[in-house]
Amino acid sequence: MPRRSPPLETEPAGGGSVRPRRLRRLASLRDLVAETGLTPRQLVAPLFVGERPSEAPEGLPALGRRDVAGTVREVERLRDRGVRAVLLFGVPRHKDPLGRGAWDPNGPVPRAIRAIKGQLPETTVLADVCLCEYTDHGHCGVVSGGSVDNDATLPLLGRAARTYAEAGADLVAPSAMMDHQVAAVRRALDAGGHPGIGILAYGAKFASSFYGPFREAAQSSPAFGDRRGYQMDGRNPTEALRELRLDAEEGADLLMVKPALPYLDVIAAARVQFDRPIAAYQVSGEYAMIKAAAARGWVDEASAVRESLGAIRRAGATVILSYFASELGPELPGGVG
């Protein structure tokens, strides 16, 4: 029997009954059948708080530093755009080898938390728990013998977390990538009378080339060496899932993958394996790449932002931390999918 030629486009298989394009004709129809989406309420805006404001790096407006009053104004502006959660990073005036400013109740982050919760109590406030912004050497923990001492760092992270909880933070986010940091923070919170404060664990935080603009904004570049001895190796997705599992077992309420776009596979695997909300951090380098390409006319910024955030959401992220959160308008719900 002679073989039949495949049908032409003008002669659809099944007599024309299967035409996926029928559901793409109108924007409202595409929105109606969209499988994934993102609203401003699923975004967290990272903010830098210091003793005094400073200009953002060129072309990166979301990386500017604000004082406490300016931070409150920004949180109010975000609220009006539908973004109701912020993650605070502190940039102190003075630094020391132990990062004592991280648990100073009069430091920029605790003061900002009190001001935000006092004026905008419906805002969800997250506080980053790490020492890199506060140490004079720029590493995420106590340095001893030329390397970071994991166990000596843990109680300091606990002190910082407790300070932020006492100021009114809703969630604390240990990001130092010290083994057992979640357990140490949980113990400190519970012992301090804060069992209701949740933990967003930077469970899979990879040693990445995409952190550069953040380190400039936070003034947290290491004075020597790098952080590959304690941050995740990007070649090891199985190890990343193990790290996430350990954090879940230690009491993490949310689990985070950072950066987002280079590790969509880890986000997707985490979504399948864990019964906790999965967060993903679209980091400063990812933000800067889109900004730089848009400034040169190589991409349309709004479209690129929607597509990148949509990819992170589609991979399985429940929550997305992104510097674009401070720049997106209320039209976001119909634009990401």
Domains in the chain and their CATH numbers?
Answer: 38-331 (3.20.20.70)
Position 14 scores a pLDDT of: 54
pLDDT at 13: 55
Whether 205 sits among the annotated catalytic residues: the reply is yes
pLDDT score for 200 = 96
More confident position, 21 or 263: 263
> Who has greater pLDDT, 270 or 99?
270
Predicted TM-score (pTM) of the model is 0.89
* Residue range 50-95, pLDDT digits in tens: 988 888 888 999 999 999 999 999 999 999 999 999 999 999 888 9
Average pLDDT, the chain: 89
Q: What is the pLDDT of residue 3?
A: 58
- Identify the pLDDT of residue 4: 58
Q: Name the band, by pLDDT with cuts 50, 70 and 90, for residue 218.
A: low
Q: Is 258 a catalytic residue?
A: yes
Q: Quote the pLDDT of residue 47.
A: 97
For 62-73, the pLDDT digits (tens) are: 999 999 999 999
Q: What integer pLDDT is reported at residue 55 of this predicted model?
A: 83
| Mean pLDDT, rounded, for 312-325 | 96
Q: What was the pLDDT predicted at 36?
A: 86
Residue 331: pLDDT band (50, 70, 90) is low
Residue 2: pLDDT band with limits 50, 70, 90: low
Mean pLDDT check: name the lowest of 49-63, 102-116, 125-139, 218-232.
218-232
Q: Which of 170-174, 209-213, 302-306, 325-329 has the lowest mean pLDDT?
A: 325-329
Q: Mean pLDDT over residues 294-301, rounded?
A: 96
C-alpha–C-alpha distance, residues 190 and 270, integer Å: 27
Q: Which of the four pLDDT bands, split at 50, 70 and 90, describes residue 162?
A: very high
- Identify the band that residue 335 occupies on the pLDDT scale cut at 50, 70 and 90: very low
